[in-house]
Amino acid sequence: MSHAAERPKNIRSETDGPVLNIEHLKVTFATDSGDVKAVDDVSLTVAAAEIVAIVGESGSGKTVTAKTILGLLPETAISSGAVLISGNNVISVTPRHLRQIRGLEVAMVFQEPSTALNPVFTVGWQIAEGLRAHGKVGKKEARARAIEALGKVGIPEPEKRVDYYPHQFSGGQKQRVVIAAALALNPGLIVADEPTTALDVTVQAEILELLRDCRDVYGTSIVLITHNMGVVADLADRVVVMYQGDVVEEADATTLFASPKQDYTKKLLAAVPHLGRNSASAGLTERAHQESEVLVQAKGLVIEYPGRLGTPAFRAVDEVNFSISAGEVFGLVGESGSGKTTIGRAIAGLNKTTGGSLKVLGYEMRTFRERTFRPLRKDIGFVFQDPAASFNPQLSIGECVAEPILIHEKRSPQEVEKRVGELLEAVQLPRIYASRFPHELSGGQRQRASLARALALNPKLLIADEPTSALDVSVQAKVLELFKEIQAEFGFAALFISHDLAVVDILSHWVGVLYKGKMVEQGIGSQVMGNPQDDYTKRLIASLPVPDPAEQAKRRQAHRALLPG
């Protein structure tokens, strides 16, 4: 019945004009420090079977706009203007009417699939919940429709898996279930808020494929909220660029990427790292810095996390061999759970090794004792992923940066202060920032300060664990540039850990690819990226969306060819 019923609806909505029409939307939040305008006069329309991407950096108001479409704003928000979904203004309808619109007319796909699903109910029950909320549905029929929805989104054996709980699915499958729940009532519009941000690149490619199918097969319109220009290039028909609550530019995807009009859009696009451009290892034919001292040497390195009672230990790093020489930037790439962070932490002495050998600055980590390793710590700098959490909120930036100096060197307060000033200037922060507190700095500034702290003692080795993944694209570009300059200036060796191939490519001379704890491939950056040998590396590189619609369409074909089956 479903297919027959869908057709007329789609045809009708195509003739009816836009599915979503936002006119002069303004949203203001009441906060402790006065009102904050999150969205300021935004107008946009979404036609039937169209995918519109709203892009922007954090704080641009894109998520608030998306939440307004479903009437999900918190109590502290006040909105004005009109959000019309098939003629109903979401802002002014009664809560009862709003409930009818949700699910039937518009549904939402959330960023984090593992929190969007309730862990104590089966996925079938959760999909059927939406059906039951809109009219009487028998138990059998609800189940049948849940199975059908799971089948639609490509979950294998839907009859069996309808009774599974969320934890029995992988991250990508969970997101498929969330999409199935959104599709269950066949709404005309799906709002997808960063639907692939929490997923690995290879899984992201599959979810994007699924969203495209939703549009192609069922004629669903999609509002895609994202900060990833690659995803936009892959999926969107039309792009709306937002900046500080305002729509800066609106254009067809191809037009926008080919000839952006506004300065902000141009800057944004220029900042997106592009695989194969600006590679640090371009032109290298053999591994650099081989003649210099070897700082880190791993031979058959095994790191296990003890399992719970009765379960075997989890092997996070499995027989990995690599070495880092002085002055070399080693890029470590892998998806979540591949063991890349574990390796970084083991080198810094934050994790214990289980087997094999890991020598850091000549110190064998298998016999690790904090007391004997401490003198070596001054030669190792560490930059953490989240700049907001890696600073003590009670200490000023100056005090945080001075911490390593105070611990390892006996210097007068004036000398320390002078050194902190120099360090801040080295990372392009004004000296007066020493007296500010971490929360008074922006994310990018904090990450610069974090770099200054890591460099405080002129370390021989710097470990950077996803240093830019919490930053906006334009900020990321600046931090990466700074990192590159400083590395060239100070000449330290670095272990650069990231899930983003393009970012690693910009910085690293030598790249290692990790997959499920195993080093599947390593080599000169440009060669690994340009001519991958291992099957997994090939798949990883092919699934990375490129911020260029035309090129991405070609890559998509190539990626499909790589997929098994």
Partner 1 sequence: MSRKEGSLFQRLPVISHLGKSVGLQRGMLVTGLVITALFLLTAAFAPLIAPYGFAQHFDSQLAPSGKHLWGTTSGGYDVLSRVVWGTQTAVIVIVVAVILSIFLGVALGLVSGYIGGWLDRILVVIADAIYAFPTLLLAIVMSIAISHGRSSMLGGIFAAAISITVVFIPQYFRVIRAETIRLKAEPFVESAMVVGASSVRIMARHIYKNATRTLPLIFTLNASEAILTLAGLGFLGFGIEPSSAAEWGYDLNKALSDTTAGIWWTGVFPGAAIVLTVLGLTLVGESMNDLNDPRLRGRRRAGRKQPAAPQTPGTNALNAPGTEIAGNGVTV
- The Cα 298–Cα 151 span in angstroms is 46
Q: Does 372 participate in binding partner 1 (rule CB under 8 A)?
A: no
Q: Which is nearer to partner 1, 27 or 203 (CB)?
A: 27
CB of 348 closer than 8 Å to CB of 463: yes
Residues 13-42 that bind partner 1 (CB under 8 A): 28-38, 40
Give me the count of residues in the chain.
565
- The residue from 47, 93, 326, 388 that contacts partner 1 (CB under 8 A) is 388
Torsion angle of alpha carbons 321, 322, 323, 329, nearest 10°?
-170
Binding string to partner 1 for residues 40 to 59, with x set by CB under 8 A, is what? x-----------------xx
CA dist., res. 67 & res. 106, Å (int): 11
DSSP category for residue 565: -
Nearest approach in angstroms of CB 249 to partner 1 is 20
Give the shortest CB-240-to-partner 1 separation in angstroms.
16
We find the least distance from the C-beta atom of residue 314 to partner 1, in angstroms, to be: 18
Q: Tell whether residue 160 is a contact of partner 1 (CB under 8 A).
A: no
- Choice between 143 and 460, CB closer to partner 1: 460
Q: By CB under 8 A, is residue 438 in contact with partner 1?
A: yes
Q: CB nearer to partner 1: give 169 or 382.
A: 382
Pick from 188, 245, 273, 331: which binds partner 1 (CB under 8 A)? 245
Strands (E), 15-112: 20-31, 34-46, 51-55, 77-85, 88-89, 106-109
Q: Tell the smallest beta-carbon distance from residue 194 to partner 1 (Å).
A: 12
Q: What DSSP element (H or E) covers 347?
A: helix 340-347
Task: Choose which of 98, 144, 395, 482 interacts with partner 1 (CB under 8 A).
Answer: 395
Paired tokens of 50? 């169209």
Confirm if 497 and 341 have CB atoms less than 8 A apart. Answer: yes
CB of 315 to partner 1, least distance (A): 22
Report the relative pairing of strands 106-109 and 88-89 from DSSP bridges: unpaired
The residue type found at 484 is K
- Binding span for partner 1 by CB under 8 A among 116-124, 203-211, 266-274, 404-412: 404-412
Closest CA to 424 of 450, 442, 406: 450
Q: How many whole angstroms from its chain centre is CA 549?
A: 20
C-alpha closest to that of 465 among 319, 360, 347: 347
In a 13 Å sphere around the CA of 372, the CA atoms on its Cβ side amount to: 10
Strands, E assignment, 237-293: 238-243, 246-252
Least spacing, CB of residue 477 vs partner 1, in Å: 19
Among 143, 453, 509, 539, binds partner 1 (CB under 8 A): 453
Among the listed ranges 41-49, 324-332, 399-407, 481-489, the one in contact with partner 1 (CB under 8 A) is: 399-407
Edge-to-edge order in the sheet of strand 493-498: 380-383, 461-465, 493-498, 329-333, 510-515, 518-524
Residue closer to partner 1, measured from CB, 219 or 438: 438
Burial of 426 by CB count in 10 Å (0-12 exposed, 13-18 middle, 19+ buried)?
middle
Interface size with partner 1, residues (CB under 8 A): 55
Residue with tokens 């984090």: 112
Q: At what angle do helices 397-408 and 443-454 cross, to 10 degrees?
A: 10
Lay out the site mask for partner 1 across 468-507 (x = CB under 8 A, - = otherwise).
----------------------------------------
Report if residue 431 touches partner 1, rule: CB under 8 A: no
Closer CB to partner 1, residue 72 or residue 288?
72
- Transcribe 210-248 into DSSP letters: HHHHHHHHH--EEEEEES-HHHHHHH-SEEEEEETTEEE
Residue 394 binds partner 1 (CB under 8 A) = yes
Sign of the dihedral defined by the CA atoms of residues 450, 325, 351, 522, in that order: positive
Amino acid at 373: F
Q: Are strands 518-524 and 510-515 parallel, antiparallel or unpaired?
A: antiparallel
Task: Work out which of 21, 63, 68, 221 binds partner 1, going by CB under 8 A.
Answer: 63
Strands 363-364 and 355-360: antiparallel
Rounded Cα distance, 346 and 217, in Å: 48
Q: Rule CB under 8 A: is residue 369 a binding residue for partner 1?
A: no
Kindly tell me which of 218 and 382 has the beta carbon lying closer to partner 1.
382
- Identify residues 190-229 at the interface with partner 1 (CB under 8 A): none
Q: 18, 61, 219, 327: which one contacts partner 1 (CB under 8 A)?
A: 61
Q: Which of 47, 72, 77, 284 binds partner 1 (CB under 8 A)?
A: 77
Tokens 């799906």 -> residue? 190
In the complex, what is the shortest distance from the CB of residue 390 to partner 1, in angstroms, rounded to a whole number? 4
User: What minimum distance in Å lies between the beta carbon of 38 and partner 1?
Assistant: 5
**Residue of 48, 303, 332, 380 interacting with partner 1 (CB under 8 A):** 380
Q: Counting contacts by CB under 8 A, is residue 377 touching partner 1? A: yes
Site for partner 1 in 308-367 (CB under 8 A): 348-350
Of 228-236, 300-308, 358-366, 432-440, which segment contacts partner 1 by CB under 8 A?
432-440
Segment 519 to 538, residues that bind partner 1, using CB under 8 A: none
Write down the least CB distance from residue 424 to partner 1, Å.
17
Q: Which residues bind partner 1 (CB under 8 A)?
A: 28-38, 40, 58-61, 63-64, 74, 76-78, 244-245, 348-350, 374-375, 377-378, 380, 382, 384-386, 388-395, 403-404, 407-408, 437-440, 442, 450, 453
